[in-house]
Structure 1
Amino acid sequence: MTGLLLVAGCNGEIGGITAGAGEDAPWAGEDTPLPPPVNIPPVHVQCAHVGSGTDYQVGPGKQFESIGDVPLESLVAGDTVRIFWRSEGYHEKLMLGGQGTAEQPIRVCGVPGPGGELPVIDGDGATTRPELDFPFDGHQVRGLVIIGHKHDDAYDLAPSHITVEGLEIKNASPPFRFTDKAGSAASYADNAAGIFVERGDHVTIRACEVHENANGLFIGTGGAEILTEDVLIESNYIHDNGSLSDYNEHNVYNEASNVIYQFNRFGPTRGGNGNNIKERSAGVVIRYNWIEDGAHLIDLVDAQEATDSVALPSFHETFIYGNVLLRTGYGPSMIHYGGDSGQTENYRKGTLHFFANTVFVKNEAYRDYERSAVFEASTNDERIDARNNVFASSQEPTDIRAVTFMGDRDDVAAGTLLLAGNWVMKGWTAFDPVPGPQLLGKVDGLDSQIVGLAPPFAPVEGHDFLPATGGPLVGAGAALDGLPAVEHQYSPHQQAKARSDGSSFTIGAFAP
């Protein structure tokens, strides 16, 4: 498959203005409970060499015929590896571990083909440059594009300011095999990733298409001095990753600190088994994305390896805003907040701020006792504050084909949900109307929401989810009470445009 986006301003610059919340944003690395402001969204990715280092050009008729000819183990600040599109993909593995700077990042970018085709990095039969310096040789099976600490570097010398953009990355998954740096045949691990970040600071993944891997992205492997920090995931198309038989692989699986998602398109997971986004990170911001299906669309759970992150205030404050979230069939709760290990001391135990999103459940084909829930909280220590969202479905739910706000886990419905300024489809209920789960949690404010009989979009058939002109969403939202301004809205696909609400807020992910 080819990418849908000709994006990337290799360091995200448009006319000298940084696009998106780029690597040199002043908030990066700070433990602040509020997400950073949004600058100008990316408009076009141009894989040009702009740094002070070396311009490594790879492809037909270029200095380097293959990626493995480039001394990737020796890249320094200001170096650019430009991979030019060719009709046959590059069946080669990459390992990046150098130190860039905010002004001079290390960049690997794709130069698209004549029709906008992204250069393909294909894990099927991939070869490995013998000189590559992996964190440990055992990490070779974990990914196709790997960012991590070079084994021969000083232990405290972390990879930093590394950008990967404008590439199609696929087939890092069993049953595919590759040739390792010793020249031996090897199989990918069951949890391999298209992009695997063992460790790094200021890592940007932009304008890539990532698919058909066990995990699309897998970022972070531990805490303390090996904690991955300041990750930007921007304008990518990530879809069809995961396993056909296992729910433990996902489109994205992270455990880091300060992770921002913006302007991405997330398609369904492979087989629908894994989650679309699974996050164990502190400081998570998910804004202006299109997220469709997966087991959970978003799974925000406890720290597992980086348990020291639990002490950070940012671990207990998560921001999800300006997104389109689609459930197109029966499945688990769309958004799980809390934990999944049973070690409740490491659970979120904070507030999920969920505002200015459009949630749509396509439920017309549900059979009796098939149902959907938007949220699921692990314990009563988790709180969800939902403001100015659209909660709509293709049909009005019934008691035996329910759409509920709060779902249950192990027959217990826990957590607190506060609703304010939302538009809600008639028939949606606080909890499952069929007796069963033990109700420990509560939902406040449902009786005061705006209730509608039909989806308030124009037109709903096109699934663009724009508010109907003069309809019930326009200017009807509640105050955001100190939450970040909703400055942009998603533009299909992998783009964004400025949003202006005027003197009053419009409900949902889109303003008129």
Structure 2
Amino acid sequence: MRIRLCMAGLLLVAGCTGEIGERTGDGTTKTPLPPPVNIPPVNIACTHVGLGKDYQVGPEKEFETIGDVPFESLAAGDTVRIFWRPEAYHEKLMIGGQGTAEQPIRVCGVPGPRGELPVIDGEDATTRPELDFPFDGHQVRGLVAVGHKHDDDYELDPTHIVIEGFEIRNASPPYRFTDKSGNVVPYADNAAGIYVERGHHVTIRGCEVHENANGLFIGTAGGDILTRDVLIESNYIHDNGSLDSYNQHNVYNEASNVIYQFNRFGRTRGDNGNNIKERSAGVVIRYNWIEDGAHLIDLVDAQEAPDLIDLPSFHETFIYGNVLLRTGYQPSMIHYGGDSGQTEYYRKGTLHFFANTVFVRNEAYEDYNRSAVFEASTNDEQIRAVNNVFASTLEPTDIRAVTFMGDRDDVAAGLLFLAGNWVTKGWSAFDPVPGPKVIGKVDGLDSSIVGTELPFSSVDSHDYRPLNGAALIGAGAALDGLPTIDFQYVVHQKATPRNDGSTITIGAFGL
């Protein structure tokens, strides 16, 4: 059975379709729901199918190095195919130009004989002198850059850019590179493996991104140069960040309409920084594997693009079909609200969190170690958590607690509504140890299915599908108003169609 989850009566959503700011018959604004997933991810075929030029890079190809390709001149239908070789390409890229939906500008990697991805390495990278960066000062911000070419009309945005099939690494201090003028310079502290200054319809697919300051950094401002419509699909993003700072992350975005699907997110470097940090509107996180980081997901206020707050989709976020893993003691897994201190600009909306599997490994906790799944900044943020698995290795105790709502600055805020969930015995609404001031509210915990044994096929094998006969099967709430759940994650960076039979199963996996 394909699951269509809508939440009539429970969630305050207007329908299952719609664009940002679409007007209903009574003149009110309807918040959109995420677009459907058309197909599960497939192996990337780095073939030239556009009507433009086929640029082939690598040993015995027309272009021996990446820097030989005129990236500053790419146009709709062009493909740059970079072939695997045993040694890495120590070269920087800058992609601009205007593709179309039918004829994108595509830069892709042709794998090696055993599926090895071509490596683009920031250490001692060189820069093609003719590359046209938005400003030359942006060269320190990334290894693979997407942005407005400085010599283009200011209003002309890069559009329909596809980057897929690479291993991208080492855009980070202390590494240095040679810029377009021939100067050897260090990367910025906030450099990224893939840096998007601005663009519309940017796709990042099938890449491994690691050992950068930020793995991905997308969006730098609002207004006319707001980045829109980003798809992050089937990537492995891990070990990005800083050993000295919490300000760099595996992913850090501020854009409009950002979809994550079928990705594997590993730990951040040194466990510093967040796995996914989002200041964007229209965020959809579905069918991913997300493991550790300071926060696994940090959804906060806009910073460089304050006009995002005026979009209805800034106040509605969708997280579904994911596996979310926390090992040991760290901050809350999911933070929703803001971090600037200017609460009038916070999310002040609804986080729709459904059909996820959340697992906390708490067997090594010491006294007064604790974990929280959610953290909301104010009581204007609400979380609707439906048909999720919330499990831990051991039953928590008061002094080794696992809670639904955590606190920040000794205040536990936010409104959490629970329905149709499976919960390990001993989880609590708030920290049972006196201390934080509780101003938030948790409803529906008493109606959860409470278990004492883990309901998974095999924790040791990281198989979080329902165990045969588990109470998850067929026990989900009948809902209305949310998107269709078409797929479930497959280890790793893949998916398979989800099947629940005649009734809904709790968690990220069907039968």
Whichever residue aligns with residue 237 of structure 1, its letter is: Y
Kept in 2: contact 1:298–1:335 (CA 8 A): yes
- Are the equivalent residues in 1 in contact too, given 2:331–2:371 (CA < 8 A)? yes
1:442 maps to 2:437: no
Q: Which runs of 5+ in 1 are unaligned?
A: 1-25
Alignment partner, residue 224 of structure 1: 223
Partner of 2:10: none
What SS does the corresponding residue of 2:373 show, helix, strand or coil? strand
Residue of structure 2 equivalent to 1:64 = 63
CA contact (8 A) 1:193 1:215 kept: yes
Shift of 1:29: 7.3
Q: 2:27: which partner in 1?
A: none
Structure 1's consecutive aligned runs of 4 or more residues displaced over 2 angstroms after TM superposition are 26-33
Partner AA of 2:160 in structure 1:
H
Pairing of 1:36-75 with structure 2 (within 5 A): 36-75=35-74
Deviations 1:294-337 (A, max 9, x none): 00000000011111010110000000000000001110000000
- Once residues 478 and 251 of structure 2 are traced to their aligned partners in structure 1, the CA distance between those partners, rounded to angstroms, is 32
TM alignment of 1:102-113, pairs within 5 A? 102-113=101-112
Partner of 2:488: 489
Superposed displacement of residue 504, structure 1 = 1.3
Instruction: Give 3-state SS (helix, strand or coil) of 1:57's partner.
Output: strand
Would the aligned equivalents of 1:241 and 1:250 in 2 still touch at CA under 8 Å?
yes
Contact 1:456 1:473 in 2 (8 A): yes
Asked whether the 8 Å contact 1:29–1:258 carries over to 2, the reply is no
* Equivalent in the alignment of 2:147: 148
Q: Counterpart of 2:210?
A: 211
Q: 2: distance between equivalents of 1:179 and 1:28?
A: 44
- Find the counterpart in structure 2 of residue 314 from structure 1: 313
Could you tell me how far apart the structure 2 residues matched to 1:485 and 1:97 are?
A: 35
Letter of the 1:371 partner, please give it. R
Q: Distance in 1 between matches of 2:296 and 2:258?
A: 17
In structure 2, the CA distance between the partners of 1:101 and 1:27, relative to structure 1 (3 Å rule), is farther
Tell me what 1:351 maps to.
Answer: 350
**Count of paired positions:** 487
- Percent identity between matched residues is 79
Question: Paired residue for 1:279?
Answer: 278
SS at match of 1:458: strand
Task: Please report how far the alpha carbon of residue 502 of structure 1 lies from its aligned counterpart in structure 2 after TM superposition.
Answer: 2.7
- How far the C-alpha of 1:245 sits from its partner, in A, is 1.1
Deviations 1:478-499 (A, max 9, x none): 1232111111000000000100
Residue 415 of structure 1: how far off its partner (Å): 0.4
Q: Name the stretch that deviates more: 455-464 or 74-83.
A: 455-464
Does the aligned pair in 1 maintain the 2:170–2:211 contact within 8 Å?
Answer: yes
Cα distance between partner residues in 1 of 2:231 and 2:275: 17
1:432-511 paired onto structure 2 within 5 Å = 432-511=431-510
Conserved? CA contact 1:203–1:230, under 8 Å: yes
Q: Matched residue of 1:138: which SS?
A: helix
Find the aligned partners of 1:126 and 1:27 in 2 and give their Cα distance.
44
User: What RMSD, in angstroms, separates the aligned Cα atoms of the two structures?
Assistant: 1.1
Which residue of structure 2 aligns with residue 418 of structure 1?
A: 417
Give 1:459 deviation, angstroms: 2.1
| Residues 451-509 of structure 1 deviation map (CA, whole Å, 9 limit, x = unaligned) | 00011111222221010112100000012321111110000000001002232110000
Q: Which residue of 2 aligns with 1:133?
A: 132
Partner of 2:313, secondary structure, is helix
Stretches of structure 2 that go unaligned for 5 or more consecutive residues are 1-16, 23-30
Q: TM-score, normalised by structure 1?
A: 0.94
SS in 2 for 1:56: strand
* SS of residue matched to 2:463: coil
> Any residues of structure 2 matched to 1:291-330 within 5 Å, and which?
291-330=290-329
Alpha-carbon distance in 1 for matches of 2:224, 2:188: 25
Contact kept in structure 2, 1:125 and 1:179, CA below 8 Å: yes
In 2, Cα distance between equivalents of 1:231 and 1:347: 22
Q: What is the aligned partner in structure 1 of residue 389 from structure 2?
A: 390
In structure 1, C-alpha distance between the alignment counterparts of 2:21 and 2:321, rounded to whole Å: 23
Provide the C-alpha distance between the structure 2 equivalents of 1:442 and 1:324, rounded to a whole number of angstroms: 25
